[in-house]
Amino acid sequence: MEISGRNKLPGTVREIERSGPIAKVVMDVGGGRVVALVTSEAVDELGLKEGQTATALIKATSVMLMK
Is 65 in a helix, a strand, or coil?
A: coil
| CB-CB contact of 35 with 13 (8 Å) | no
Distance CA 54, CA 48 (A): 8
Query: CA geometry: angle at 20 spanning 35 and 7, to 5°?
Result: 25
- Per-residue pLDDT of the chain (67 residues), as tens digits, is 787 777 889 999 999 999 999 999 999 999 999 999 999 999 999 999 999 999 999 887 777 888 9
Distance CA 47, CA 23 (A): 13
Fold of 8-54: OB fold (Dihydrolipoamide Acetyltransferase, E2P) (2.40.50)
Q: Where are the domains of the chain?
A: 8-54
In degrees and rounded to multiples of 5, residue 59 shows phi and psi of -130, 110
pTM: 0.84
